[in-house]
Amino acid sequence: MAIDPWFFIAVGCSLTGYALYLTGLRRQLVQPNRASWLIWSAATAVEAGTYAAVNPGALQGWVFALSALACVAVTLGIWRRSVWSAPSRGEIVCTAACLAALTLWIVSNNAFWAHMLVVAAVPVSFWPTWQSVAQDRNRERSPAWGLWAVGDLATLLVATRGGNQQVGEYAYILVELLCHASVWFMVGLATINPLRSLGFRNGRLYVLDAYSPAASLFSVGETHLGKAVYAAQGFAEGDEIIRFTGRRFRADRVPSLMRGSSDRFVQVTPQHYMGPSGRIDDLINHSCAPNAGLRFAGGSVTLIAIRDIAPGEEITWDYSTTLAESNWHMICQCRAPECRRVIGNFATLAPERQEWFRARNLVAPYLRRKDEVAGPRDRAA
């Protein structure tokens, strides 16, 4: 029997989407929701098994099986780059649904209802990603979502052209199609355009260059300290300037990684640092009189304008506002009238300056309480 050509299109789109997503993950171009992917890896594995049991010999079952393997690979990549956080109620509900499906399949051997339970769990598993994209669609700007949607459509065509399927057998394919298409729509339909993903530069082909709708907002220049980031257009006080990205590392691993130009780590928790991203946020310098500050919200770190910034002005922030380490210091050469000469942790700032940053929510969460940054002598008093 000849294999339906739509089968190859479905497999090709699905696997290409996963390959592009893994590339984006490795280059920190996407910031996926870890819980969603953990659930998806479990759900796709259960779905691949239950679909094969309900529809033995169906070609689309192979699409699900290959997708499950690729999904697990993405999940492992995400978990290597993330830190633990408690799951939300929706994440717990969906995980429970997937476990119930697996249990139902194993205990009662009722593959049909296990299959339908996973179908019902899929939209719930997308909820954390929908929330994440609603806050910042750049977190999921990848051509993968468009390719997955096209792959789902091809899988649906394989199922319909095969004939003899009941309506219930299309449920998972339709739900996946709608969910993938919804994220694709939220991040922007143009992300499947190859011109957004491929390009030549200096004689080399670049895959998945960072999509930057605000590329015209910045320019990179030189100062007495080296490279610096300048505003190409003005920012008003309170504007979001750029989101900091980068792989997170345990604090005990950071000293061995801080070498020369790679010494661009931002402390994000008492036990973790964000490493260099290879993007423009790595080049933003310190100043004792900054015009921007870092705001921590959920898992994101965003640079916020703390006053109006004129076009052509260098963008800076105060490195001390994220530091809890007591043994770190840096000789400052910012040349601001308020220059402190030596930069240390948050506790080295004047008390009124600490309160100024706290009042504007421009310090790391673990520095928001006074007793968390007080020195031993202060606490003893």
Q: Is residue 366 part of a domain?
A: yes
Q: Is residue 206 part of a domain?
A: no
- CA 331 vs CA 199, 286, 339, 354: distances in Å: 40, 11, 10, 20
Q: In angstroms, rounded to a whole number, what is the distance separating the alpha carbons of residues 154 and 64?
A: 12
Q: Are residues 195 and 118 in the same domain?
A: yes
Q: In angstroms, rounded to a whole number, what is the distance separating the alpha carbons of residues 133 and 296?
A: 17
Q: Is residue 13 part of a domain?
A: yes
**Residue where a domain terminates, one of 199, 225, 250:** 199
Assign 2 a pLDDT band (cuts: 50, 70, 90): low
Q: Are residues 302 and 344 in the same domain?
A: yes
Q: Is residue 115 part of a domain?
A: yes
Q: Are residues 185 and 231 in the same domain?
A: no
CATH code: domain of residue 277: 2.170.270.10
The set of residues, in sequence order, having a beta carbon less than 8 Å from that of 8 and lying 6+ positions away, is: none
Flag the least confident range among 178-182, 201-205, 216-220, 331-335. Answer: 201-205
Q: Are residues 104 and 189 in the same domain?
A: yes
Which tens digits make up the pLDDT trace of 166-213?
555 688 788 889 999 988 888 776 555 544 445 444 455 555 444 343
Taking residues 234-262, what's their average pLDDT? 73
pLDDT at 309: 94
pLDDT at 377: 35
pLDDT at 365: 83
Q: Is residue 209 part of a domain?
A: no
Flag the least confident range among 63-77, 208-222, 229-243, 296-310. Answer: 208-222
Flag the least confident range among 68-82, 158-172, 220-234. Answer: 158-172
Give me the number of domains the chain comprises: 2
Q: Is residue 94 part of a domain?
A: yes
Q: Is residue 160 part of a domain?
A: yes
Domain assignment of residue 252, given as a range: 215-380
Taking residues 347-354, what's their average pLDDT? 90
Flag the least confident range among 32-36, 69-73, 110-114, 244-248. Answer: 110-114
In the predicted model, is pLDDT for residue 371 greater than 70? no
Q: Are residues 72 and 169 in the same domain?
A: yes
Q: Are residues 280 and 164 in the same domain?
A: no
Q: Are residues 179 and 220 in the same domain?
A: no
Taking residues 62-89, what's their average pLDDT? 75
Q: Are residues 171 and 30 in the same domain?
A: yes
pLDDT at 375: 42
Q: Are residues 48 and 188 in the same domain?
A: yes
Q: Are residues 169 and 129 in the same domain?
A: yes
**Residue where a domain terminates, one of 171, 199, 227:** 199
